Amino acid sequence: MSFPMNPRMVTLLLLVTAAMLLAALPSAASAKPGQTGSGGLERAHAHNDYEHDRPLYDALDNGFKSVEADVWLIDGELVVSHDDPRLATTAEPKGTLESLYLEPLRERVRENGGNVYRGDPDYFTLLVDIKSEAVPTYEALHEELEGYRSIFTTFKDGKVEDDAVIAIVSGNRPRELMEGQRVRHAAYDGRIPDDLGKGPQTFVPLVSQNWTRLFTWQGVGPMPEAEREKLRNIVAAAHANGQRVRFWATPELPGTREAVWGELLAAQADYINTDNLDALERYLLQNDPRPTEPNVYWNDPAAKGGRAG
């Protein structure tokens, strides 16, 4: 036996159902950092990013704002590989810098209205670690970046024209050649202590060092107070000059890595280096009070120009 339904009751039920469905959908505010509509995780750096199943894309899906690619100049191509691709013991490279990073980043920026993450006003970092001879490899990199200048930050006559992506050269870096360029499409990865707080920000916006060369603590027990103070002094000196800070070779074992990540976060280090994308994403979402805000930006407020934000 059926009974007629009150029209007001039908309307109420429809409204309640619609509200429940809307509540179940992810909002822009609660979206994962890698999803469209949200900024990325500023402190997240993918060490040797190309070793993941999907170079660049795995990092983007985890909200990373910085990725690292090692390159070798082979027959005019910038091949992405940790070891020399010409050696029989080297695994088959997955591709070139252009195929794995430059072209996908350009497409991503196009899709997201001028940014790697839609609405994100801060640049995305492509750290290019030169493994082959410095000068010819950098010259090939400069020429290749010229073809993607629509998305890469440009340095001209000591001024910075900010864009969606910044290329920073690490590894074998031809400093004299880069310093002599009137126009560059890449910046220089400085070393701690040599470049800490020194040089123009537009040339050395990042300073890096092997963690074990500066610290003995590997995440077991509390960090020695003297080393904690040393870490914070390094970060403070860099930030006073507008430089960002990165350490590589930090612990990667569960437990010890989180202990080191906590100290880096407390000291306001700018990038946390990892091979464990999922673990760092979870950690930053739970512990970084400002996950989508950079600690430092360009000293020149005019650098951003007309870039979308």
Given a cut of 50, whether residue 133 has pLDDT beyond it is: yes
Instruction: Calculate what percentage of the chain has a pLDDT beyond 70.
Output: 86
Domain 35-287 = CATH 3.30.870.10? no
pLDDT per position as a tens digit, 195-225:
999 999 999 999 999 999 999 999 999 999 9
The pLDDT assigned to 303 comes to 78
Query: CB–CB of 46/106 below 8 Å?
Result: no
Residue 4 banded pLDDT, cuts 50, 70, 90: low
Given a cut of 80, whether residue 3 has pLDDT beyond it is: no
pLDDT per position as a tens digit, 150-178:
999 999 999 999 999 999 999 999 999 99
State yes or no: cis peptide before 200, omega within 30 of 0: no
CA angle 50, 53, 58 (to 5 degrees): 80
Instruction: Calculate what percentage of the chain has a pLDDT beyond 90.
Output: 83
Token representation of residue 38: 């949200």
pLDDT per position as a tens digit, 224-265:
999 999 999 999 999 999 999 999 999 999 999 999 999 999
Given a cut of 80, whether residue 287 has pLDDT beyond it is: yes
